[in-house]
Structure 1
Amino acid sequence: MELIIRKAGTGDLPGILDIYNEAVLNTVATFDTVPRTLEQQTEWYGQHGDAYPILVAEREGRVIGWASANRYSDRLAYARTAELSLYIHAEYRGLGLGKRLLGRILEEGKSAGLHTVLSRIAEGNDSSIHLHRVYGFDMVGTMRQVGYKFDRLLDVIIMQKLL
């Protein structure tokens, strides 16, 4: 079946939430440790608007991945900088979907007027680091032992791309 990548709507929030909460419970892709509620995800969605796009990957009417450009800071000088989020349903990881979503969210971000995109990647996530390098992200720093999840302290690598 055909894969569709499109802008997310409020009807996509349950699918986005399912994918995100699976990552919360089973991965270090996010440092959230408690699953989100639909109310929290709806509030998150409302913080984006045209300046910070959200995309979903859909197959047979099911959301199987999503990407978003998130406000980096509420200080106005950072308005053209975003932090990237990219999550793939567990059944579809490793099939190239992340690559397609990342390419599209960067295009959408540039069209929306963003200039800089940042990603924070937990240590050990070599596939994510590789994917970011494919799209021209540079490693700009490492924050040492800033996260604690699954009974261990984790470093976070910061990657950056100028659009």
Structure 2
Amino acid sequence: MEIRSAQQTDIESILDIYNEAILNTVATFDTELRTLEQQTQWFHNHGELYPIWVAEQAGIIIGWASLNPYSDRLAYRRTAELSLYIHSDYRGKGVGKQLMKQVLDAGLAAGLHTVLSRIVVGNESSIHLHQVYDFEHVGIMRQVGFKFGRMLDVIMMQKML
């Protein structure tokens, strides 16, 4: 498996992994599938400060991670929000751990200071992965999402780079 910086040619694979998560998980609170046009715009809104990395195996993208702007207010410029999604066939095999390390290292090198993650309550594997990389639990937002017919709580985790 190779972990590398995402390229424009990876956008469709990133989109496929993300849309599967929209349809089948509460890892994202998006409820409508993204289009290729939307994902291309998302890709171009990133850059050195907000990197995107992919995991590739045998020419297939099996996961991706990105650091995203937390807010458009300039005082938050050095704060990012982490996204991490793994193809359903490769979850639980260490791909997320490798991607997270790489994207956090890239964020530090780019000059980011703080990384935040919002994780749905009950996603113990994601919470554990964040704890491996020294994210701290900083709060719970109660009943902030509604998906699959139920209200969902979200844990906020934070890491200083």
Band of TM-score, shorter chain: over 0.9
**2:149 counterpart residue number:** 151
Q: Deviations over 1:24-73 (max 9, x none)?
A: 00000000001100000000011111110000000111100000000000
Q: How much has 1:127 moved relative to structure 2?
A: 0.4
Amino acid at match of 1:123: V
**1:160 counterpart residue number:** 158
> For residues 24 and 137 of structure 1, what CA distance do their matches in structure 2 show?
24
User: Is residue 48 from structure 1 mapped to residue 76 from structure 2 by the alignment?
Assistant: no
**1:11 counterpart residue number:** 9
> For residues 3 and 95 of structure 2, what CA distance do their matches in structure 1 show?
10
> For residues 53 and 66 of structure 1, what CA distance do their matches in structure 2 show?
11
SS in 1 for 2:98: helix
SS in 2 for 1:45: helix
> For residues 51 and 110 of structure 2, what CA distance do their matches in structure 1 show?
8
Amino acid at match of 2:64: W
> For residues 160 and 49 of structure 2, what CA distance do their matches in structure 1 show?
16
- Alpha-carbon RMSD across the aligned residues, in angstroms, is 0.4
Structure 1 length-normalised TM = 0.98
**Superposed, which structure 2 residues align to 1:9-158 within 5 Å?**
9-158=7-156
- Where does structure 2 lack aligned partners over 5 or more consecutive residues? none
Q: How much has 1:81 moved relative to structure 2?
A: 0.3
> For residues 141 and 112 of structure 2, what CA distance do their matches in structure 1 show?
24
Amino acid at match of 2:50: Y
Q: How much has 1:76 moved relative to structure 2?
A: 0.5
- Where does structure 1 lack aligned partners over 5 or more consecutive residues? none
Structure 2 length-normalised TM = 0.99
